[in-house]
Amino acid sequence: MDEQADTSLTEEDYASILTAMHTLTGRYGSGLTLNEALAWWRLVVRHIEEGFDTQWVWEYHHELACRDWLCEAWPLLTARVRTLRQPFLNEMDNRFTAATAPLQGKEAEGRRNGRWWHDRYPRRVIGQPDDELPPSWSPAPEYIEDD
């Protein structure tokens, strides 16, 4: 069987992606596409792996909005789209988990409706060691030199 035929999306698949985009536009600003959200998640994961800049520490949870979008979009997508994209999402989630540590204290109580990625913080950061970090980022992340 032709591999290309196995991975082509149907009209129903594209309609589900469009539905997700339109449904989530109000909550996440401009209409992200599935590919844009996945690319944004990959970029966020890469930045965290390389060392999250403490200059943006208070924007950290905002950076995770692309993963929130994916969480809300996933049930709106056809099973075929989810099956095709799940391996990539799993890879990014695994890399994110490896590059982060669980939050401590009150923030670690999982109050974000099962959105586990908000219950983690970067293991490695760049910036000034005297920059203020959230108390829940304990033990403190490792500071690395910015290239």
How does pLDDT run across 13-30, given as a tens digit for each residue? 999 999 999 999 888 777
pLDDT band at 110, cuts 50/70/90?
low
- Identify the pLDDT of residue 107: 59
Identify whether 95 is part of a domain.
yes
Token pair 């929130």: residue: 68
Which residue has better confidence, 7 or 83?
83
Look at residues 63, 31, 32 and name the one whose alpha carbon lies nearest to residue 47.
Answer: 63
- Identify the pLDDT of residue 10: 95
Distance (Å, rounded) from C-alpha 116 to C-alpha 110? 7
Identify whether 3 is part of a domain.
no
- Residue 128: Cβ-neighbour burial (10 angstroms; 0-12, 13-18, 19+): exposed
Domains in the chain, number: 1
Identify whether 2 is part of a domain.
no
Distance (Å, rounded) from C-alpha 138 to C-alpha 134? 8
Identify whether 51 is part of a domain.
yes
Identify whether 120 is part of a domain.
yes
Helices 34-50 and 65-73 cross at an angle (nearest 10°) of 140
- Identify the pLDDT of residue 145: 81
Q: Which domain holds residue 112?
A: 9-143
Identify whether 127 is part of a domain.
yes
Coil/strand/helix, residue 89: helix
CB 86 within 8 A of CB 38: no
Handedness of CA 70, 78, 24, 32 (dihedral sign): positive
Coil/strand/helix, residue 126: strand
**Model confidence pTM above 0.75:** yes
57-61 long-range contacts, Cβ below 8 Å, gap at least 24? Answer: 57/125, 57/127, 57/131, 57/132, 57/133, 57/134, 60/121, 60/122, 61/118
- Identify the pLDDT of residue 28: 77
Identify whether 1 is part of a domain.
no
- Say whether pLDDT at 113 is over 50: yes
Identify whether 63 is part of a domain.
yes
